[in-house]
Amino acid sequence: MDYDREDKKELLSYKFAFRPNQKEAQEKVLHFFGMEPNSANVQLMNELKSGTCLFQDHRGRNQPIAIDVLFDSWLLAISSTNKEDEATQVALALEQSS
């Protein structure tokens, strides 16, 4: 992929990656972050919860972080959740009741 070329990678100071579902995509993310696709790192990717992502800083340090959106309008702008889905509607109702 274009983003994974060395001449492109050096232009990126910070990286964020949310959990892909496919194992092959997870391995590509780990490689892009300079991490070995071993069982511990794959498990780390699999354990990322909704709203968390793998983050790499300008020094190459990797850490899962939580994303907290400051304004509801921003959350609406970046949301990719299908709100028509029945399971999603149940989850949203539960979230609003707590």
pLDDT score of 46 more than 80:
yes
Q: pTM, whole model, 2 decimals?
A: 0.66
Number of Cβ atoms within 10 Å of the Cβ of 43: 9
Q: Per residue in 23-33, pLDDT tens? A: 999 999 999 99
Cβ(19)–Cβ(43) below 8 Å? no
Are 20 and 31 within 8 A, CB to CB?
no
